[in-house]
């Protein structure tokens, strides 16, 4: 058997892939997925599975009163359904003498470097011992602002965290289309350049029956990961052998091209936009200096024209040009109070050191 094109991947499977319209888990699809993960491991690929389906599984087991609060309903169904979901995966993996581990996370787990590294260490230990981590959002405690956009966002964060070479997002369509899929002549786009940021013209914002996200979210995550060197495949999880086809370099679904790979620390910063505590506005000279290619450049206070919000040392800040364009993200080396006192002055310690600085493509703004 030939080696896989990737050494480490994250596979995200959506609710509409593993659950039918009636909410019952589709065991044939789940069995195919596990068989493909087994094949990937035989080819030398480490696999982390990010699986939706807890709430959908819960729906198949219990009927919640329509009078129940929306948040309480989700918590109840997730509590019941997560047990069924992980038990199903455990049973399917036993046929291949493989073990899995349940990893439930919340957005809070990504908010600081210590929690981030603890989770990364756990996932690394599981992979080292040939155990397949099955990750899902902890819907029991994740509510409102504590929730991920959906498991696509979670999968992107996990892929960045573990240094995966690729994220495979399995959905119930064949990929990204060049126009609304229902229109005559619509075709799947096989390759999307990493500089492409406007997907709204041909992607419906419609969400799935069971999940929270849609294709726009998937494209946004894929674009962000492409900027830090992680290739993203979006493909139909109901297609037999789809993961195996991707690992065998077959042209299926949609692939997002990548820019140069980034350090693991920069990957963490790049995926911390949602946790930024403040804004730093810089002048045009500072912006040009940051994007020079000949040498690494830190963000110095002399180029800062305005500080918005309050932040402490170690917090993530967003960096904007004077025109209001999001330039990048960085970890502040000191507080907002000290930053304001040093603003515009020369010979001061960098506000954001290069090692903790992630810059978006110079010509494009990131997908919001």
**Residue 366 domain-assigned?**
no
**Residue 236: DSSP 8-state:** E
Q: Are residues 34 and 74 in the same domain?
A: yes
Q: Of 209, 239, 267, at which residue does a domain stop?
A: 267
Q: Per the structure block, which two tokens stand in for 357?
A: 């600085």
- Is pLDDT at 5 greater than 90 in this prediction? no
Domain encompassing residue 142: 8-267
Q: Are residues 108 and 166 in the same domain?
A: yes
**Residue 356: DSSP 8-state:** G
As a whole number, the mean pLDDT across the chain is 83
pLDDT digits (tens, 9 = 90+) for 39-62: 999 999 999 999 987 777 777 677
Spacing of C-alpha 25 from chain mean position: 24
Q: Would the annotation count 151 as a binding residue? A: yes
Q: Are residues 212 and 290 in the same domain?
A: no
Q: What is the mean pLDDT of residues 247-260?
A: 85
pLDDT at 267: 67
pLDDT digits (tens, 9 = 90+) for 304-328: 999 999 998 888 899 999 888 898 8
Burial tier of 218 (Cβ tally within 10 Å: 0-12, 13-18, 19+) = buried
Which stretches of the chain are assigned E, i.e. beta strand? 8-13, 46-51, 99-105, 131-137, 166-171, 191-192, 231-236, 254-256, 278-282, 304-309, 316-321, 326-331, 357-359
> Nearest-5° angle of CA 214, CA 219, CA 224?
130
Q: Are residues 147 and 208 in the same domain?
A: yes
CA distance 298 to 135: 35
Among candidate residues 180, 188, 272, the one with its CA nearest the CA of residue 233: 188
Q: Are residues 136 and 201 in the same domain?
A: yes
State the pairing for strand pair 357-359/231-236: unpaired
Q: Would the annotation count 52 as a binding residue? A: yes
Q: Are residues 251 and 305 in the same domain?
A: no
Among candidate residues 282, 354, 356, the one with its CA nearest the CA of residue 316: 356
Total domains in the fold of the chain: 2
pLDDT at 360: 78
The answer to whether 207 and 214 have CB atoms below 8 angstroms apart is: yes
Give the CATH number, domain containing residue 55. 3.40.1160.10
As a whole number of Å, the CA-based R_g of the chain is 21
Q: Of 245, 267, 289, at which residue does a domain stop?
A: 267
Q: Are residues 313 and 238 in the same domain?
A: no
CA distance 48 to 253: 20
| Cα dihedral 84, 90, 13, 33 in deg (nearest 10) | -130
Give percent above pLDDT 70 in the chain: 82
Burial tier of 15 (Cβ tally within 10 Å: 0-12, 13-18, 19+) = buried
Q: Are residues 255 and 284 in the same domain?
A: no
Q: What is the mean pLDDT of residues 341-351?
A: 92
CA distance 170 to 11: 7
In Å, how far are 139, 184, 187, 236, 275 from 112, measured between CA atoms? 20, 48, 42, 34, 9
Label residue 367 by pLDDT band (50, 70, 90): very low
- Is pLDDT at 28 greater than 70 in this prediction? yes
Among candidate residues 245, 248, 172, the one with its CA nearest the CA of residue 210: 172
Q: Per the structure block, which two tokens stand in for 47?
A: 């696999």
Among candidate residues 121, 61, 134, the one with its CA nearest the CA of residue 92: 134
Q: Are residues 60 and 150 in the same domain?
A: yes
Output phi, psi for 309, to 5 deg.
85, 175
**Residue 121 domain-assigned?**
yes
Q: Of 267, 283, 299, at which residue does a domain stop?
A: 267
Among candidate residues 192, 300, 302, 309, the one with its CA nearest the CA of residue 256: 192
Terminal CA-CA length for the chain: 42
In Å, how far are 3, 21, 96, 157 from 10, measured between CA atoms? 17, 26, 19, 10
CA dihedral (291, 194, 227, 317) positive or negative: positive
Q: Are residues 50 and 94 in the same domain?
A: yes
Label residue 112 by pLDDT band (50, 70, 90): low
């Amino acid at each position: 058997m030939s080696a896989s094109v990737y050494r480490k991947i994250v596979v995200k499977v959506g609710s509409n892939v593993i659950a039918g319209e009636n909410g019952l888990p589709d065991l044939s699809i789940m069995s195919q997925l596990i068989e493909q993960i087994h094949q990937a491991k035989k080819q030398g690929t480490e696999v982390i599975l990010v699986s939706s389906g807890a709430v959908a599984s819960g729906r198949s087991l219990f009927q919640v009163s329509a009078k129940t609060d929306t948040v309480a309903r989700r918590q109840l169904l997730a509590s019941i359904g997560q047990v069924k979901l992980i038990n199903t995966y455990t049973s399917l993996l036993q046929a291949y003498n493989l073990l899995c581990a349940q990893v439930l996370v919340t957005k809070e787990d990504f908010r600081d470097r210590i929690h981030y590294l603890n989770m990364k260490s756990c996932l690394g230990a599981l992979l080292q011992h040939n155990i397949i981590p099955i990750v899902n959002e902890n819907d029991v405690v994740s509510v409102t602002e504590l929730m991920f956009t959906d498991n696509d966002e979670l999968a992107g964060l996990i892929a960045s965290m573990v240094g995966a070479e690729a994220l495979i997002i399995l959905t119930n369509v064949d990929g990204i289309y060049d126009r609304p899929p229902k229109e005559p002549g619509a075709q799947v786009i096989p390759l999307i350049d990493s500089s492409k940021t406007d997907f709204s013209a041909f992607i419906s914002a419609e969400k799935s029956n069971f999940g929270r996200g849609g294709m726009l979210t998937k494209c946004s995550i894929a674009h962000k990961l492409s900027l830090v060197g992680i290739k993203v495949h979006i493909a139909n999880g109901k297609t037999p052998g789809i993961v195996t086809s991707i690992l065998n370099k077959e042209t299926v679904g949609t692939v997002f091209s990548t820019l140069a790979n980034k350090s693991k620390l920069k990957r963490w910063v790049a995926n911390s936009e949602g946790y930024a505590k403040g804004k730093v506005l810089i002048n045009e000279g500072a912006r040009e200096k940051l994007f020079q290619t000949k040498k690494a450049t830190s963000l110095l206070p002399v180029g800062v024209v305005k500080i918005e919000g309050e932040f402490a040392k170690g917090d993530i800040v967003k960096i904007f040009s004077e025109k209001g364009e999001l330039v990048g993200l960085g970890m502040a080396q000191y507080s907002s109070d000290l930053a304001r006192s040093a603003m515009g002055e020369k010979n001061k310690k960098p506000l954001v050191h290069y090692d903790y600085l992630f810059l978006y493509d110079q010509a494009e703004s990131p997908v919001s």
